[in-house]
Structure 1
């Protein structure tokens, strides 16, 4: 019997060749290449700029060519163009005839102020006027009497002169006939001269007395006229105790209480003219210098319907960096407007055709708008620029930029005026 061996269980195993020595350096070489690439990227980033910033922290806009519309958009409130407040001309007790919100007509009584002091003053001034008018009348009568007396004296002097002339003529005939001595003739001549002198003095005295009487009458009349003006002024003040509506409108805020004593010049109530409204807007100080009265505007009501308007007033005062301006409706105004109602306003100041422009951002205020950061690949380079007119959303570029340039319009304040930074 044959004994089985293990030959049937044996298999030939082929021995693989040993790997080449250079293959063991493949993965270390790949790792080294990655490290070198990182170092190269870091060196490239360092050479591109001394500082690096994330792109999410800045806003970049492209320079374009087109029309630049300089306009102002603002939310305004409706105010009455004519809304005077009526004041008490004198202290007294007020009696209100209307309440807030009442519709009134022109010259309608709104309130009455009872001022015994003012009414008493009127009575006193009227009595003084009556006395001065009586004195003026008496002075005028005295002037007439003075002129009559002066005329009488002059007439008498004229009669004496006429008589002296007749006596001289009679003595002259008698002397010529030899019946009258020469001494009587000379005496008659002296009497005529005396009469003529008296007549001349009477005429001068009459003129002077007439002038004096006229001056006295004129002075009395002027005093009466002055007192008459005083009475007219006090009468006006008494009439002003009755407050009347200056126009057709509506009673606004009532600032006095019924049957209470008010001080002189105290506000009583306001009247609103419902036929004329204006829109008050607040304009940034940087745009206020470009606003001018008469500049066209567009007003939009809550329904979206536009209404043409024009700038009617610009305040000369700056408050909290803003200037108040008023817009008046040019044609018609929306129906049912009320005080303090909101409306949108847009004022077109200028339109510049075919200019270089870029989005407006904080970079305009930085460095006085003389520099801008322009993208060069992934780097932002500081470049001198010259900017022109500005609108709310865009600004004109005069020099330093070309169409297609990409400008950092926001976030450049963190660059600390570096000449070149990296944006990644």
Structure 2
């Protein structure tokens, strides 16, 4: 049995064509294209020649202009003491602390005492040696006077013997002339006088030599005493320095030991902060630190106030890519500053008037300053540029840009390095 399948062939009916409606649709489309060509031909050309399209809301633009260019370094600094001496033990022993951290101190005030039996005993021994040296000197002086007296006595006796021999010769000569004595007696008297003269010359010479020798002995004893006294004076200085005194007016900073601690010589005891001379220390990137020099003007601000400053020192050491620099207050030091207080610091490196420049943005770092995107008639075009001095706010333009150019300073990473990009409103 044949079973027929019903379809929709009975329901389908062909419709008559409508040529007029089709022609009108085609004509309207052509007219719209012509109108767009007349009104926005340039825009369409830009769309066809551009590599991408980015909304202007995703970009930051700036205009190239003439403006002052100030190069500076800004950052946060902390208040430090220009003088913060650390005190050390001048001898080994037990340390007694007389102050606490933060206590105000005056110059010359005793802050700690070091009990050093070794140094104290040595001082006592050397003082005893001074007494012995002084006694030796006194003994040498007495002996010198005694020997000098003996030499003088010998000289006087020799002189008297010479005078006696001379008188005897005169008497014998007169007796010979009178015929009362023999010539032999005269000759004997002459020999006696010659011996007396020789003895006198020897006594005089010995007196001079011995006197010089005694004087040298006394001087040697005096030198030994002076040397011993210097040694005692140095030990007395060391014993006096066992009382650790503050070298400045200020306050105690940090205690490095506990009270009653036994320490070795030259051990750190404590630090003193001179609050009368404060500076501000800041960390500067190594690239800027090359241009920092002592004496450069700066500005310090904090607590709603601003103070003039100048660079006092720049550390020669680089730590983690940064260099420590210190600024001192150019005028009177402000009051109520505290150690390690945070302040804002700014150092002026250079200032130029009326420089062709543009606001600084991420394009300086992203491109390395080799190119920039200039926006004109809705299109951002990549252009090679040459940049010069840079500040925190602006960068100098040396070549590639003209006065009035609009530059994409941020958001150029959306262009993916394309040469031309459509900027949509």
How far apart, in 2, do the equivalents of 1:374 and 1:196 lie?
122
Preserved contact between residue 371 and residue 382 of structure 2 (Cα < 8 Å): no
Q: Which residue of 2 aligns with 1:3?
A: none
**TM-aligned CA deviation for residue 228 of structure 1:** 1.8
Q: Which residue of 1 aligns with 2:372?
A: 373
Render the CA deviation track for 1:87-125: whole Å, top value 9, x for unaligned. 222232222222222223333332222222222222122
Task: Verify: 1:315 aligned to 2:315, yes or no.
Answer: yes
Preserved contact between residue 301 and residue 334 of structure 1 (Cα < 8 Å): no
**TM-aligned CA deviation for residue 340 of structure 1:** 0.8
Name which of 31, 45, 50 aligns with 2:50. 45
Preserved contact between residue 307 and residue 332 of structure 1 (Cα < 8 Å): no
The aligned runs of 1:11-90 (5 Å cut-off) are 19=20, 25-26=26-27, 44-45=49-50, 61-90=62-91
**TM-aligned CA deviation for residue 209 of structure 1:** 1.7
3-state SS of the aligned residue for 1:139?
Answer: helix
How far apart, in 2, do the equivalents of 1:176 and 1:361 lie?
137
Render the CA deviation track for 1:193-229: whole Å, top value 9, x for unaligned. 4333333333332222222222222222222222222
3-state SS of the aligned residue for 1:119?
Answer: helix
Preserved contact between residue 387 and residue 395 of structure 2 (Cα < 8 Å): no
Task: Verify: 1:298 aligned to 2:299, yes or no.
Answer: yes
Preserved contact between residue 300 and residue 306 of structure 2 (Cα < 8 Å): yes
Preserved contact between residue 55 and residue 423 of structure 1 (Cα < 8 Å): no
The aligned runs of 1:398-417 (5 Å cut-off) are 398=398, 401-406=401-406
- In structure 2, relative to structure 1, the CA distance for the partners of 1:397 and 1:158 (3 Å cut) is farther
Number of positions where the alignment pairs a residue of Structure 1 with one of Structure 2: 398
**TM-aligned CA deviation for residue 16 of structure 1:** 12
**TM-aligned CA deviation for residue 179 of structure 1:** 5.0
**TM-aligned CA deviation for residue 77 of structure 1:** 0.8
How far apart, in 2, do the equivalents of 1:181 and 1:219 lie?
58
Q: Which residue of 2 aligns with 1:4?
A: none
3-state SS of the aligned residue for 2:219?
Answer: helix
**TM-aligned CA deviation for residue 284 of structure 1:** 1.9
How far apart, in 2, do the equivalents of 1:172 and 1:52 lie?
151
Q: Which residue of 1 aligns with 2:334?
A: 334
The aligned runs of 1:148-297 (5 Å cut-off) are 148-175=149-176, 181-297=182-298
3-state SS of the aligned residue for 2:253?
Answer: strand
Which region of structure 1 is more displaced relative to structure 2, 274-283 or 132-141? 132-141
Name which of 404, 420, 423 aligns with 1:422. 420
Name which of 381, 384, 389 aligns with 1:382. 384
Preserved contact between residue 107 and residue 247 of structure 2 (Cα < 8 Å): yes
- In structure 2, relative to structure 1, the CA distance for the partners of 1:282 and 1:27 (3 Å cut) is same
**TM-aligned CA deviation for residue 412 of structure 1:** 7.5
Preserved contact between residue 75 and residue 343 of structure 1 (Cα < 8 Å): yes
- In structure 2, relative to structure 1, the CA distance for the partners of 1:176 and 1:97 (3 Å cut) is same
3-state SS of the aligned residue for 1:219?
Answer: helix
Preserved contact between residue 52 and residue 421 of structure 1 (Cα < 8 Å): no
What TM-score do you get using the length of structure 2 for normalisation?
A: 0.78
- In structure 2, relative to structure 1, the CA distance for the partners of 1:55 and 1:130 (3 Å cut) is farther
How far apart, in 2, do the equivalents of 1:411 and 1:113 lie?
67
**TM-aligned CA deviation for residue 305 of structure 1:** 1.6
**TM-aligned CA deviation for residue 181 of structure 1:** 4.8
Q: Which residue of 1 aligns with 2:356?
A: 356
Q: Which residue of 1 aligns with 2:11?
A: none
Preserved contact between residue 314 and residue 326 of structure 2 (Cα < 8 Å): yes
